[in-house]
A and B are shown apart, each in its own frame.
Chain A
Amino acid sequence: MTRYSVFAIAKEALRFHQGWERAWRSPEPKKSYDVVIVGAGGHGLATAYYLGKNFGITNVAIIEKGWLGGGNTGRNTTIIRSNYLQDPSAAIYEKARSLYEGLSQDLNYNVMFSPRGLLMLAQTHHEVRGYLRTVHANMLQGVETSWIEPAKVKELVPIINIDGPRYPVLGALYQARGGTARHDAVAWGYARACSQMGMDIIQQCEVKGVTQENGQVTGVETTKGHIGTRKLAIVVAGHSGQVAEMAGFRLPVEAVALQALVSEPIKPCIDVVVMANTVHGYLSQSDKGELVIGGGTDGFNNFTQRGSFQHIEETLRALVETFPMISRLKMLRQWGGIVDMTGDRSPILSKTPLGNCFINCGWGTGGFKAIPGSGWAMAELVAKGEPGPLAAAFGMDRFREGRFIDESVAAGVAH
């Protein structure tokens, strides 16, 4: 496959761009594989990529019900940060953030990672204390964050109203190395790299059942027939519960809808990511000029990929209060995704009651930022059969043992 480079562009320019190949193959499934990964979103593809890169396992199939990156990978607001409170979260999200820094070079695919800086506004005294605690925790964890005063917030974000009527800005938790990346490119880049290693990405192939023998997984029944496997990784986000049920176990997960929206494109007006958790909204500007906006989840089980209207209203109300200049902006598109929420708002990377079957789920509202770190940790779990240091704390048994990784306070809003 052609390596993307300035020379490749020059060469193609001379022959009217007739020579570009498809970025990944679309083969029919083989009879069996060493590893089958269910779900070709960011996390599934990253798992496959690091299985090949770190462990030399390339006889791998990635099965996708819809199309590649068409679920939450293509529906999030592309924010990347690692300013978490608890040690296990900070470790895995910081691993992901640091992998994002070199990802374009690593994959030979421009994922447009933009470390433009990220602010989490503190708008109550409770939040000030909470974020100061996070800054101190991050210092011990080796995650670079800082506390900044309102004047500095105004300097970084000239369009912000720091003397809001309800919640004036009292400061912010600032992660200068946080930012955004192009979400589709992350999925496409991983897919291309996986395909190049000889892995099979099989789209429009839905898993209908999991076959097992003596408590060990033997394969999956799909709409394209039976595919045998020695190891199975379930990485399907919103539908984790459904696939887990086929494998014979139940998850501590509930699926709810999370919405996002973008405005009409305008001239550059904000070059950082701003999250306002008290009033429930966050905002950044895409390269096209659209303001990318997200808010909170609906509170009921939902598989429809559409959410409740009042949450959009709530989010926009909050953002108009924080950024008065956007009050007359028209919104262009709105959509929803199905997120899998665990009780402690932390993900699950775990062995399961079924032998050689592993699960990666529960990323809830914040999975995109974790894609490289999650894939890295999941690949180790699948390859060795035991979790490595990044995944160890995220086992499913933590609920039984009361070892929660309580991030609901640290996040507070969908992220």
Chain B
Amino acid sequence: MLTLECPYCGVKAEETELSPGYEAHLKRFGAGSSDDDYEAYMFARKNPKGVHFERWRHVYGCGKWFLAARDTATLEVFGTYPAQSKAPPEDLIARIKAKRPEWEGYK
């Protein structure tokens, strides 16, 4: 069972307490953007087999959204961080790099 630590309330929450929200850090393209950008924003997903940055909600806890880095091929959780982050924190990226030297890095 997945266990993720909520960065807001500090609870090590197990999967049944959480609600998944798929890919994080999507750059929003709204009215006035090109068709390509809008389509990619709406539908195209990285869906990597490996390191994935994603959204979760602590739905049966504090109720807040947060972000997590997780390996989709092993279910290992690398860490969680607040939803206000524009990009994954440097120290988290360094920790993932140390564990997954072949990883191409956050793109």
Do the two chains belong together in a single complex?
Answer: yes
Asked whether B35 lies within 8 Å of A301 as measured between CB atoms, the reply is: no
Our pick among A254, A301, A399 for the contact of B39 (Cβ within 8 Å) is A399
Task: With both chains docked as a complex, state the minimum distance between the C-beta of B20 and any C-beta of chain A, in angstroms.
Answer: 4
Asked whether B1 lies within 8 Å of A299 as measured between CB atoms, the reply is: no
Asked whether B43 lies within 8 Å of A301 as measured between CB atoms, the reply is: no
Asked whether A241 lies within 8 Å of B22 as measured between CB atoms, the reply is: no
Given contacts A304-B73, A304-B75, contact A252 B49 (CB under 8 A): no
A contact residues around B42 at 8 Å (CB): 343, 399
Asked whether A241 lies within 8 Å of B20 as measured between CB atoms, the reply is: no
**In the complex, A241 Cα to B35 Cα: how many Å?**
21
**In the complex, A308 Cα to B17 Cα: how many Å?**
13
B contact residues around A16 at 8 Å (CB): none
**In the complex, A253 Cα to B45 Cα: how many Å?**
7
Task: With both chains docked as a complex, state the minimum distance between the C-beta of A177 and any C-beta of chain B, in angstroms.
Answer: 35
- Is B84 on the interface with A (CB-CB < 8 A)? no
Asked whether B20 lies within 8 Å of A299 as measured between CB atoms, the reply is: yes
**In the complex, A251 Cα to B45 Cα: how many Å?**
7
Q: How many residues of A contact B (CB 8 A)?
A: 22
Asked whether A343 lies within 8 Å of B43 as measured between CB atoms, the reply is: yes
Asked whether B2 lies within 8 Å of A254 as measured between CB atoms, the reply is: no
**Residues 376-415 (chain A) with a chain B CB within 8 angstroms:** 399-400
What 0/1 pattern do residues 289 to 300 of A give for CB contact below 8 A with B?
000000000111
Given contacts A299-B19, A308-B2, A310-B16, contact A250 B45 (CB under 8 A): yes
Main secondary structure of the interface of A (DSSP, over half): mixed
- What is the count of residue pairs linking A and B with beta-carbon distances less than 8 angstroms? 64
A contact residues around B2 at 8 Å (CB): 300, 308
- Is B46 on the interface with A (CB-CB < 8 A)? yes
Asked whether A250 lies within 8 Å of B44 as measured between CB atoms, the reply is: yes
**In the complex, A203 Cα to B48 Cα: how many Å?**
24
Our pick among A242, A300, A309 for the contact of B54 (Cβ within 8 Å) is A300
- Is A302 on the interface with B (CB-CB < 8 A)? yes
A contact residues around B22 at 8 Å (CB): 254, 300-301
**Residues 224-265 (chain A) with a chain B CB within 8 angstroms:** 239, 241-242, 250-255
- Is A303 on the interface with B (CB-CB < 8 A)? yes
B contact residues around A400 at 8 Å (CB): 35, 39
A contact residues around B75 at 8 Å (CB): 302, 304
**In the complex, A239 Cα to B1 Cα: how many Å?**
23
- Is B74 on the interface with A (CB-CB < 8 A)? yes
A contact residues around B1 at 8 Å (CB): 308-310
Asked whether A252 lies within 8 Å of B72 as measured between CB atoms, the reply is: no
A contact residues around B49 at 8 Å (CB): 239, 241-242, 255, 303
Task: With both chains docked as a complex, state the minimum distance between the C-beta of A295 and any C-beta of chain B, in angstroms.
Answer: 15
What 0/1 pattern do residues 34 to 52 of B give for CB contact below 8 A with A?
0100011011111111001
B contact residues around A399 at 8 Å (CB): 39, 42-43
Our pick among B15, B39, B40 for the contact of A310 (Cβ within 8 Å) is B15
Task: With both chains docked as a complex, state the minimum distance between the C-beta of A345 and any C-beta of chain B, in angstroms.
Answer: 13
B contact residues around A310 at 8 Å (CB): 1, 15-16
B contact residues around A298 at 8 Å (CB): 20
**In the complex, A255 Cα to B75 Cα: how many Å?**
13
**In the complex, A303 Cα to B47 Cα: how many Å?**
10
Closest to A342 in B: B43
What 0/1 pattern do residues 68 to 88 of B give for CB contact below 8 A with A?
001011110000000000000
Asked whether B44 lies within 8 Å of A301 as measured between CB atoms, the reply is: no
Task: With both chains docked as a complex, state the minimum distance between the C-beta of B21 and any C-beta of chain A, in angstroms.
Answer: 8
A contact residues around B47 at 8 Å (CB): 241, 251, 253-255, 301
B residues near A, CB below 8 A?
A: 1-2, 15-16, 19-20, 22-23, 35, 39-40, 42-49, 52, 54, 70, 72-75
Query: Could you show 8 A-B contacts with beta carbons less than 8 Å apart?
Result: A250-B40, A252-B43, A254-B47, A301-B52, A304-B72, A304-B75, A310-B15, A343-B43
A residues near B, CB below 8 A?
A: 239, 241-242, 250-255, 298-304, 308-310, 343, 399-400
A-B contact sample (14 more), CB < 8 A, given A241-B45, A300-B20: A241-B46, A241-B47, A241-B48, A250-B45, A251-B45, A253-B47, A254-B47, A300-B2, A301-B47, A304-B73, A304-B75, A309-B1, A310-B16, A399-B39
